[in-house]
Amino acid sequence: MKSLLEKPLFGDLLATDASNAIRYHLTSGTTGRTPIRVLDSMKDWDWINEMWCYGIWGFGVRPEDIVYFAFGYGSFIGFWGAHYACEKIGALVIPGGAQTSEARIKQIIEMGVTTVFSTPTYALHMWQKSREMGIDLARESKVNKVILSGEPAGSIPAVKQQLEEAWGAKCGDTAGMTEIGTIMIFECSHQPGGTHIIEDHFIEEVLNPDNDKPVGYDELGERVVTSFGRGFIPLIRYRTKDMVMKVPASTCTCGRTWDIYNGGIRGRWDDMKLIRGTNVYPRAVEAIVREYPAIDEFQIYIWRKEELQDEITIKLEIKPGHEAQWTDLQHKLAKDLANAHEGLRFNIERMDYGILPHFELKAKRLVELNVYEALKKLAAQSDLPPCAASNVRKALMSMWQATNDLDLQFEQLYDLGV
């Protein structure tokens, strides 16, 4: 991966000749770094689709199904492999490419779609949109399976329950990895509260990230993966930073002999934020917030108060018709969050409905204002060389615009020359 970054486009460690490639896709990247660029050969592409076949067959997709991909079909690899896997199984595939959510919802109903592929965030978004259109997806669509990928939320019980009620369908989690280009774990139709590992094709170790020693069943650790499936870049004991807890295959009643990651991917070790000495994981916060059905959208803000103290604020929108619950909810949510975080104080702030951005692909619910604050501090310094001062002002101006656009902070910065 390092070679890939140092020597774009493809690094100097390709395991086969570049002329064997038949596909090129970007991968999403989960940390905001440069996307990973990988070539795939005919064999790799076949393997990528095959891995998806394990997952979607396991969740019950069959040739009779009419499958809809609520996915943009850009150069991002996302659901491409799943699309080909559905064709391989013999299902009827509808690529719901570049369209509005409204058009997608209409198509899903008109075409009698039975299975939808989506990120959890976008599945929630489509449901919100359908309500605005006066459509009850659970009643008016034939969808009985929603297959989720791209975000860990598909294994958060409260999110899953909300989605299952909204769509009137079973929701199954799958998780893949940018470097692999496909999925390595999936939830079967028995829904054991976790995801089976495709052990035919992946060696999955779980290590204690502090001392690199293997941990046992029922213990949290970091996933380390070995796979030779993608011929152009085989992975050997690759550290993923994914936080997981392995449980034995027998935990599930489906009869598969593959172990399970209970709760799917539980977050990333480097997602952890240290707020006044307490560990805060965005996924854990989300799991608590999603237990409140009256909350529609939310974001987590980490900011510094008077340059002294880190603060964490949950900004949320209440679903129309549930406004009366706000006062109660505010106190209860703050208490629940504090109880789960060694008493840490969470600020709860209500936004008008429709203010928070609703994301289609991967939700960016965690917003840090620290960079903006740091730029302000720099701009206030009087001893910067003239050209540095001018560039800092330019950067601050863009950042100011962005924080305004995202509704994070409104203020005037005339004093700083912006």
Q: Which residue is nearest to Zn ion (CB)?
A: 254
Nearest distance from C-beta of residue 195 to Zn ion, angstroms: 9
Nearest distance from C-beta of residue 63 to Zn ion, angstroms: 21
Burial of 171 (0-12, 13-18, 19+ CB in 10 A): buried
Helix then strand then coil, in percent of the chain rounded to 5, is 35, 25, 40
Nearest distance from C-beta of residue 190 to Zn ion, angstroms: 5
Give the residue among 262, 118, 78 at the shortest CA–CA distance from 187.
262
Q: Which is nearer to Zn ion, 260 or 399 (CB)?
A: 260
Its sign, for the CA torsion 134, 142, 194, 85, is negative
Nearest distance from C-beta of residue 59 to Zn ion, angstroms: 10
Residue reference for tokens 């009827």: 92
Give the residue among 170, 171, 200 at the shortest CA–CA distance from 185.
200
Q: Which is nearer to Zn ion, 145 or 365 (CB)?
A: 145
Q: Which is nearer to Zn ion, 76 or 186 (CB)?
A: 186
Residue pair 58/108 in contact (Cβ under 8 Å)? The answer is no
Q: Which is nearer to Zn ion, 247 or 338 (CB)?
A: 247
Which helix H or strand E contains 237, and what residues bound it?
strand 235-247
Nearest distance from C-beta of residue 184 to Zn ion, angstroms: 15
Q: Which is nearer to Zn ion, 105 or 175 (CB)?
A: 175
Nearest distance from C-beta of residue 194 to Zn ion, angstroms: 9
Q: Which is nearer to Zn ion, 48 or 188 (CB)?
A: 188
Cα-Cα end-to-end distance for the chain: 39
Residues that bind Zn ion (CB under 5 A): 188, 190, 252, 254, 256
